[in-house]
Amino acid sequence: MKRMRVIAQELNLKTKLNTFKAQMAQQAQEVYNDWEQDEEGLDPELGGGGICDRITQAIQDAIVNNIEAVEVTEGGEDGSDHSWVIAYSATEAYGLNIDPSVYEFVGGYSWTKVPDAVFTADDIEIFPIPREDLGEIE
């Protein structure tokens, strides 16, 4: 692990993020696997809510545990119920997202588990965010 961390220090942020996409997908898979819903689609802790916040946290954990000199925060838009990750350094910023259709169906404000979802590195979307748009989160 230490060798990977040293190598990651020498690369740009997008390359670093791409290096750990498989680990991010694995951690998201663990969140999905732990998601319990009864026959009515209710989770004992989340009720009818979805797991995008938990998946966002899992991706953030994978990033901060493997890449130095990077900060993370939650992305999202006003009026949207979906969260995703923003990873940023002093000079770069990227959004990371797994489309919720991979793991959950939504109807109104009730989310149900997509049966037998499997997460892969290809499910992790990485897209640039203008660094100057981060404003107050620094």
Q: Is the pLDDT of residue 138 over 80?
A: no
The reported pLDDT for the residue numbered 6 is 44
How much of the chain, in percent, has pLDDT values that exceed 70? 87
How crowded is the C-beta side of 55, counted as CA atoms within 13 Å? Answer: 27
Residue among 128, 99, 134 at smallest CA distance from 15: 128
In sequence order, the 6+-apart residues with CB closer than 8 A to the CB of 25 are 98, 119, 120, 121, 123, 124
Tokens of 79: 């009026």
For residues 58 and 93, is the Cβ–Cβ distance under 8 A? no
Query: What would the pLDDT profile of 20-75 be if each residue is shown by its tens digit?
Result: 999 999 999 999 999 999 988 889 998 888 999 999 999 999 999 999 999 999 98
Which tops the pLDDT comparison, 1 or 64? 64
Q: Region 14-21: what's the mean pLDDT?
A: 96
